[in-house]
Chain A
Amino acid sequence: MDLSLTAPPAAPAEHPGDGTPSSAGQQNRMTPGRRIGQAVVYVVLLIASVALLTPFFWMVMSSLKSANEVFSVPINWIPDTFRWHNFVDIWSKSDMVTWIRNTMLLSVVVTFLQLLTGSFAAYGFARIRFPGRDVLFLLYIGTIAVPWQSYMIPQFVMMSKVHLTDTLWAIVLIQAFGAFGVFLMKQFYETIPEELSEAARLDGLSEYAIWRRIMLPLSVPALASLGLITFVTTWNDYLGPLIYLRTPSNWTIQLGLQSFISSLYDANYALMFTGLTISVIPIAVIFLLGQRYFVEGIASSGLKG
């Protein structure tokens, strides 16, 4: 099976906008019109990036301000003096190391479990017929619609009965089996031609092997985006940890920072934004490293094998 991604070398330069990947390596063959078109795209993207990054920029700048400079009239974009010391203080004054360790642990475990059980269940929903499948699936989607706040108390009471409150397990359990991942993966699996599985069945592969050897490799973009989204959601969750994690040594970064700030006399928002800026860094790194997987799936050439 040839599962390589590379487009045929003879493919002409493509116009960005119809959904096909185009290659910058072919610029030398561009017509002047194309070149102008590409310049326009860059300008649009640059303007959009400014609009997208402004609040983030403000957050980073605020992380370098003094406490009273953060909220002021009129807005202060650049601090008068850059307080790089904030980035030293936050580590010594708060328990960032513990919070980051907890958050990292939670995010990794939750993401792993969500990917594993989600894609596994999605295969069941997409490819295996059993009575009540559609109703069960609808039930899955339906629960996404119920706001967590409205059932968190019954859930908390249950968790408390089995003594799981105030443990990191509680967060793993409530986050890892979400219906979102199942839904996403199922939709993706349905785009993979049934013929592939049929052929594999004829070759004597078990359903498990089909999932493992065909479906999983073919769904890398979906797995990547699900992984990223799950990771970020767990990383940034506030309400869940707030309800469940009471002991400071169990706190996550969002919870820790909030509590740390409100424990100061005058909420030092500069220091809070310092912490938040630091907390964004791991996500940004993961995104930068992982973003090529969203587009470099193998699905597009899947049928050639």
Chain B
Amino acid sequence: MSFILPNFLGFGLLTLVPVVTLFYMSLTNWNVFGTSQWVGLDNFKRLVHDRSFHTAVTNTFYYSAMHIPLTLVVSLSLALLLNTKLRGVAFFRTAAFFPYITSIVAIAMVWNIMFSPDAGPINALLRFVGVDHPPGWLTSTHWAMPAVAIVSTWRDMGYYMILFLAGLQTVPRELYEAARIDGASAWQRFRNVTLPGLRPTTFFITVILTINSFKIFDLILVLTHGGPGQSTTVISQFIYTKGFTESQFGYASAASVVLFALCLLVTLVVFLINKRRDA
């Protein structure tokens, strides 16, 4: 316990206490100021019937279903590709991380132009390869979310690549030697050496990636602001709007608790799958 204490003191006081407060507030009609009345589970009952909340949850899942697998595959591929001593690899690693540190305003600007339905380079390319009616991307209720998922994968892959790179260093090199002596192909070595050796890293990345995509907020805010219509409104935005725009902080807290529960559920499932594989 003494190892945990220094971190736990800070964590407990600065994160856990406010979070526990939030849990309590989800059972009240708190509006930030003054006193609040206990309303029991009313906020949660209201969430069950709130169609905007349903839309936000559906949209968040839809986004996550695209973003999580895509990011896992792309960032792992990048990490494998860049875990070499090729000449210039330092440049490529840095390039992969650049989207993560580029100003989000610049990202929104450039991607909005790229996705522009009539004049954008992406649709120009699609027309060139024979797609007659390319999608409207960020301006279409059907394509806005896929477009957001593409941009966010593009932005995040360098971040997760770094974590994968760190994880790859933990795979004992002797295992590769042994596999090669056994005549294993590159794919077999990947399946039987790299993937099992990466499991703790993959577990970590899957959990963090899931949580982060359930929580997506700032990128959507600058790209679409939840529109057109409600087509890209996600849970975090719902929480922010209910809290800071409509001053229903108790209700917003309840939505946060639901988000928390969803993330915990996914974490537990991944955790159990991981445990079973280990056994």
Q: Check A-B contact in the complex, CB < 8 A.
A: yes
Interface set of A (CB-CB < 8 Å, partner B):
7, 11-12, 14-25, 38, 41-42, 44-45, 48-49, 51-56, 58-59, 62, 71, 74-75, 116-118, 120-121, 123-125, 128, 130, 136, 138-147, 149-155, 158, 173-174, 176-180, 182-184, 187-188, 190-192, 207, 211, 221-222, 224-225, 228-229, 232, 236, 269, 272-273, 276, 280, 283-284, 287-288, 291-292, 294-297, 299-303
B260 touches A142 (CB 8 A): yes
Mark B9-45 against chain A: 1 for CB-CB distance below 8 A, else 0. 1110111111101100100000010000000000000
- The distance in angstroms between the C-alpha atoms of A42 and B88, with both chains bound, is 9
Distance of B104 from chain A, by nearest CB (Å): 9
A41 touches B81 (CB 8 A): yes
Task: Please give me the residue from chain B that is nearest to A12 by CB atom.
Answer: B180
Distance of A293 from chain B, by nearest CB (Å): 9
Interface residues of B in 163-206 (CB under 8 A from A): 163, 165-174, 176-177, 180, 186-187, 189-190, 193-194, 197-198, 200-201, 203-204
- The distance in angstroms between the C-alpha atoms of A280 and B102, with both chains bound, is 7
Besides A117-B7, A150-B22, 12 other A-B contacts (C-beta < 8 A): A17-B80, A18-B80, A18-B176, A24-B87, A25-B85, A52-B154, A124-B1, A136-B4, A145-B211, A225-B166, A229-B159, A276-B106
Interface set of B (CB-CB < 8 Å, partner A):
1-4, 6-11, 13-19, 21-22, 25, 32, 78, 80-81, 83-88, 90-103, 105-107, 109-111, 113-114, 119, 154, 158-159, 162-163, 165-174, 176-177, 180, 186-187, 189-190, 193-194, 197-198, 200-201, 203-204, 207-208, 211, 214-215, 217, 236, 239-240, 243-244, 249, 252-253, 255-256, 259-260, 262-264, 267-268
Task: Please give me the residue from chain A that is nearest to B204 by CB atom.
Answer: A187
Distance of A63 from chain B, by nearest CB (Å): 10
A294 touches B166 (CB 8 A): yes
B1 touches A130 (CB 8 A): yes
B264 touches A299 (CB 8 A): no
Enumerate chain A residues within 8 angstroms of B93, measured Cβ to Cβ: 287, 291, 294
Contact of A58 among B96, B109, B119, B263 (CB under 8 A): B109
Enumerate chain B residues within 8 angstroms of A151, measured Cβ to Cβ: 15, 18-19, 21-22, 256
Q: List 12 A-B contacts (CB under 8 A).
A: A49-B91, A54-B110, A54-B114, A128-B3, A146-B22, A151-B18, A153-B249, A229-B162, A232-B100, A232-B101, A273-B106, A276-B103
4 closest A-B pairs (Cβ-Cβ)? A177-B10, A124-B3, A145-B263, A121-B7
- The distance in angstroms between the C-alpha atoms of A24 and B87, with both chains bound, is 6
